[in-house]
Amino acid sequence: MSGINTQLSFLVVEDNPGDIFLLKEFLHATDLDIGNIFEVDRLSEAKRVLAGQNIDLVFLDLSLPDSFGLDSYISLSAEAEHLPVILLTGLSDTNVALQALSMGAQDYLVKGDFDEKLLSRAIRYSLERKRNLQRLRESEVRYRELFNNNPMPMWVFDVYTMHFLESNVAAVEHYGYTAEEFLQLTPADIRRHGDLKALKREVAALQREGPVQQMGLLEHERKNGDIIFVEMAWHNVDYMGHPAILAVANDVTERIILENELNEQRMTRQRQITEAVIVAQEKERTEIGKELHDNVNQILGASNLYVNTAMTDDDMRQELLERSTELISRAINEIRKISKSLITPGLREIGLLESIEDITDDMKLAKGIHIQLDIHNIIEAEVDEQRKLTLFRIIQEQLNNIMKHARATEIMIRLSIEGEDIVLTVVDNGIGFDMSRHRKGVGITNIISRTELFKGKVEIMSKPGDGCVLTVKLPLTSSALPAQ
């Protein structure tokens, strides 16, 4: 549409030549830039001109040879809804003109009762009002497209009745109700265990605090009874001149289900760790009891026998007491070995590397296994005490596994820093195992649980007859710390 400061073209639909003459005189007397003025005396001719010319405004007489009264405006506006129309009326047509104004006409002028100033003002106001109406329609079209085509379910509901006023395509498809069915419902009706009183309180809170409110996580029920989890947001809006609320739903059901599954996995994992710890503790107690009974107890029993005999045998007393002393020393050494295996190694005092050498030396002596240590660029000051203890216990656990099950003759332990990780690798040449059939025992479970406390990773590679490779990666820095 042409702007007010540009040349304007008019269509005059009038069958009285005198009225046409006066109108044209007044038009040229205004300060407007007048372009073409098309004159017709019938509505049918007006439609022909509108179809072929670029018109900015129409002057319409309500009494024409082929049309009369309000029908004239209705018929013309159907052909040119976008054009502003000023009605030309007689005094007797005023009521009809007012009806036409309520239907969209921009203004009316009573013939013989206006001059160029009133005409100029009527034209300017009519053009501006029509332009504003057009902008409003375009805005409404854009809003409706955004509303209807939005992939998230959306509704508009009344703040007084709580009933839905509109629902978009996504809401209809996602919830299973038709748009007409939604008009009979309120937001409380699609909530699981919906409470209309609670809904009204929430609406009142939004009216006080507005204009936007996050409703948090809600449970909604579809028409078929399925329960879904949604995050809701409410916005205060004006809907056709009345206060309303725009509601937007984000379906997070899949996310909630996944979070629940992950929580269940964590709980299951924690139960497995707890069970493994209990089993390990019981097993350790059993082994300690067996060691004390079968070894230390036998040694002390023999020593006690020698002491009792020495008390009654003067000739053998010295020899028996010496043998008893020797046995007591053996018992002390055995108890020291047991204690050493139970007590946390003094890593602060002797360091990680020396502690590893101690347990490998013991294994070499006890089992005759060749153990190679391959330790690179480890600066102990860069590794905190908790990680040192974890690495030590993992090595200790894996060496025990190898001794009990692998029948290995050679073991290689490699420890190095690679980037942001400290990497431990334990390789043996034992009998290996089928990873697809092998269940994780207590030892492996302990290794994995210790590693996961630092957000580390464990990788195990083995196959029958080809030994085993255990790789553990611990981040040098991590926010996750073992439980005290």
Domain final residue pick, 145, 178, 194: 145
Q: Which of 84, 119, 145 is the last residue of a domain?
A: 145
Residue 453 belongs to some domain of the structure: yes
Together in a domain, 94 and 140: yes
| pLDDT of the residue at 481 | 45
2 falls within a domain:
no
Is the domain of 359 the same as that of 426? Answer: yes
Collect all residues with Cβ–Cβ distance below 8 Å to 186 and sequence separation of at least 6.
Answer: 157, 161, 162, 163, 164, 194, 196, 199
User: Can you give the pLDDT of all 484 residues of the chain as single tens digits?
Assistant: 444 557 899 999 999 999 999 999 999 999 899 999 999 999 999 999 999 999 999 999 988 999 888 888 899 888 888 889 998 888 667 788 888 888 878 888 888 888 889 999 988 898 888 888 778 777 777 777 888 889 999 999 999 999 999 999 999 999 999 999 999 999 999 999 888 998 999 999 888 887 888 888 999 999 999 999 999 999 998 888 889 999 999 999 999 999 989 888 888 877 777 777 777 777 777 777 777 777 788 888 888 888 888 888 888 888 888 888 988 888 888 887 777 666 665 666 778 888 888 888 878 877 788 999 998 767 777 788 888 888 998 998 899 889 888 899 999 999 998 888 999 999 999 999 888 776 567 778 888 888 888 889 999 999 999 999 999 999 988 644 444 3
**Domain presence at residue 204:** yes
Residue 3: inside a domain, yes or no? no
Instruction: State the pTM of this model.
Output: 0.45
* DSSP state for residue 191 in the 8-state scheme: B
**Are residues 242 and 264 located together in one domain of the fold?**
no
Which of 227, 251, 275 terminates a domain? The answer is 251
Q: Is residue 273 part of a domain?
A: yes
Cα first-last separation, the chain: 77
The CATH number of the domain where 229 resides is what?
A: 3.30.450.20
Question: Around Cβ 318, how many Cβ atoms within 10 Å?
Answer: 10
Domain that holds residue 90: 8-145
> For residues 43 and 40, what is the distance between their CA atoms, to the nearest angstrom?
8
Q: CA nearest 443: which of 406, 483, 396, 407?
A: 396
Residue 212: what pLDDT?
80
Are residues 57 and 162 located together in one domain of the fold?
no
170 and 131 within one domain: no
82 and 46 within one domain? yes
Residues 273, 323 within the same domain: yes
Supply φ then ψ for residue 325, to 5 degrees.
Answer: -60, -40
The enclosing domain of 390 has a CATH number of 3.30.565.10
How far apart CA 197 and CA 162 sit, in angstroms, is 10
- In single-letter form, the type of residue at position 300 comes to L
1 domain residue, yes or no: no
Number of domains in the chain: 4
Distances (CA, A) of 86 to 8, 105, 127, 326: 15, 7, 10, 127
| Distance, CA of 328 to CA of 321 (rounded, Å) | 10
Structure-token pair, residue 270: 């924690």
Closest CA to 89 of 8, 19, 10, 11: 19
In a shared domain, residues 267 and 136:
no
Which pLDDT value is given to residue 348?
Answer: 66
Residues 115 and 38 in one domain: yes
Q: Is residue 161 part of a domain?
A: yes
The pLDDT value given to residue 480: 46
Contacts of 43 (CB under 8 A, 6+ apart): 13, 64, 66, 67, 72, 75, 76
Q: What is the pLDDT of residue 363?
A: 80
What does the block give as tokens for 357? 């050498």
Q: Are 111 and 235 members of one domain?
A: no
Nearest residue to 363 (alpha-carbon basis) of 394, 408, 425: 408
Answer whether residue 265 is part of any domain: yes
31 and 133, same domain (yes or no): yes
pLDDT score, position 43: 92
Instruction: Give the pLDDT of residue 58.
Output: 94
CA torsion angle for 301, 306, 309, 310 (degrees, to 10)?
-140
Same domain? For 197 and 108 the reply is: no
